Chain A
Amino acid sequence: GAVVSQHPSWVICKSGTSVKIECRSLDFQATTMFWYRQFPKQSLMLMATSNEGSKATYEQGVEKDKFLINHASLTLSTLTVTSAHPEDSSFYICSAREQDLRGREFLLNTEAFFGQGTRLTVV
């Protein structure tokens, strides 16, 4: 099955610094990737949709300037948490689904493949 790789798996940073998280689709191309955040014992909440070659689409309530998303290639999306604060500590997960790139439509019956997740701790 398709694999999505996320790096790093965990990071501890000081308050006020920025952290970059990478999400790669290893054996398929993805013009769209998704970034989720998950607090302990809670569900996955979609933060933004990362679009290759264009601006990301953010969900309501998610600060664009704080969570910078770059999707520079068909296999790589990055999420940068800028000026991190302790309340940004969370589990961040990316996902991607295989697409029919000709029509830029998602293939039917396609599951979402998830990266391993990144545990961010801001101290």
Chain B
Amino acid sequence: QQPVQSPQAVILREGEDAVINCSSSKALYSVHWYRQKHGEAPVFLMILLKGGEQKGHEKISASFNEKKQQSSLYLTASQLSYSGTYFCGTEPRFGNEKLTFGTGTRLTIIP
């Protein structure tokens, strides 16, 4: 069963912040985050491996709550280039290498 993401879609003005959530019904070993532009392949953003781990890169960061089987992606001071569909990808416990992608969140940044 694929992870559920919320919200399904969000529209922001440039400079605003957004939070995208990913919730799994299964225990997780890791969570990946990807961004996909229309008609293109997904692009890797980050991996979180440990419960409670938080990572960040410039103005995009993420957290992973292993106990709650949830992860959140934080985008601060959004830029036009952040537009796209964001997917979380989850690995079940014990390192099964298959990634199951979440339902997706479409983010639109307007000037």
A: residues with CB less than 8 A from B are 32, 34, 36, 41-46, 49, 91, 93, 95, 97, 105-106, 108-117, 119
Determine if A112 and B49 form an interchain contact, defined as CB atoms under 8 angstroms apart.
no
Cβ contact within 8 Å between B49 and A109: yes
Per the bound structure, the CA–CA distance linking A110 and B104 in Å amounts to 21
A111 and B32 contact, CB distance less than 8 A: yes
- B residues within 8 Å of A by Cβ? 2, 32, 34, 39-44, 47, 49, 87, 89, 95, 97-104, 106
Which secondary structure characterizes the binding site on chain A?
A: strand
Q: Which of B40, B43, B87 contacts A43 (CB 8 A)?
A: B87
Q: Are B98 and A34 in contact (CB under 8 A)?
A: yes
Known: A32-B97, A43-B103, A46-B99. A115 touches B49 (CB 8 A): no
Partner of B101, one of A43, A49, A97: A43
Q: Are A116 and B89 in contact (CB under 8 A)?
A: no
Q: A109-B47, A111-B47 are in contact. Are A43 and B104 (CB under 8 A)?
A: yes
Do A44 and B44 touch across chains, with their CB atoms under 8 A apart? no
Whether B97 contacts A44 by the Cβ 8 Å rule is: no
Contact A49 B47 (CB under 8 A): no
B98 x A115 contact (CB < 8 A): no
Question: How far is the CB of B42 from the nearest CB of chain A, in Å?
Answer: 5
CA distance A109 to B55 in the complex (A): 12
- Contact status A43-B102, CB under 8 Å: yes
Beyond the given pairs A111-B32, A116-B41, 15 more chain A to chain B contacts, judged by CB atoms under 8 angstroms and listed by A's residue number, are A34-B98, A36-B101, A43-B103, A43-B104, A44-B42, A46-B99, A46-B101, A91-B39, A93-B42, A108-B49, A111-B47, A112-B34, A114-B41, A117-B41, A119-B39
